[in-house]
Chains A and B, each alone.
Chain A
Amino acid sequence: MSTLRIRSIGGGQEPVRISSGPGCLEPLRHIYRRKCYNGNTNKEEFFMALIIASREVDGVTVLDLSGRITLGEGSVQIRDAIRDLIAKGQKSILLDMGDVNYIDSSGLG
């Protein structure tokens, strides 16, 4: 079992450290969480702001994004992840945004 790499995004954000198990094979995974009001449950809860998981498919690096892409949370991390890949010479990158449920103006940019 290996520990996944988790980044904190600074003040007030609590990094979440988890360990990979048999069903968790992603080699790269960033998780951010934030406490906010859940209108469906009528109480404040911790939400996973953004999860980025990376996998390789036929020479293409697929970044599976899940959660929110907002200023200070997801947008910077996505840029960092893509820049890291480009710096390593990877030019075939696919963003799977099927599980992204919120994008603000920064995320659009």
Chain B
Amino acid sequence: MNAPQTGRMSFSLASTMESVDAVEAAVEKLAVEAGLDEDERFRVTMAVREAAVNAVLHGNEYDPAKHIAVSIENTGAALVFTVADQGKGLDPRTLPDPLAPENLLRGTGRGIFLIRSFMDEVHFRQLHPGTELTLVKNLAPGGEKT
């Protein structure tokens, strides 16, 4: 997949880890072209990867009949990513706090926390069926990260 320097691209991908890798590669390329430094590229790429993993693993549960829909966009003011699955839906208010003492040693439950930590905006939208996450990383006017 090739990412645009500006503009928007959308993909419909199978519910596989290979799709997650493809999304990660496209996001990395978009982040490079947007002028993000290595640290910011790492944060953005990991955040979108976590969203894609959630869509494949928790949303679609690797169901070959379901797809994930991904869009990546450089608006000039921000990098905007959407990741949607066709799963049962997710209410973010029900997610346990990974920083709570009783959750510190849990093997899962940190993905959304990392996404929120690394991005400037995170929005959830309920689909029928599924969940769509929108992730935003603001850019400085010159294309540099704010």
Contacts and interface: CB of A to CB of B under 8 A. Distances in A.
Interface of A: 11-12, 34-39, 42, 44, 70-72, 102, 104-106, 108-109
A71 B17 contact: yes
Interface in B1-42: 16-18, 21, 24-26, 28-29, 31-32, 38, 41-42
Interface in B42-74: 42, 46, 49-50, 53, 57
Interface in B109-125: 109-111, 113-114
Contact of A39 (B28, B53, B109): B28
B107 interface: yes
B57 A42 contact: no
Interface of B: 16-18, 21, 24-26, 28-29, 31-32, 38, 41-42, 46, 49-50, 53, 57, 106-111, 113-114
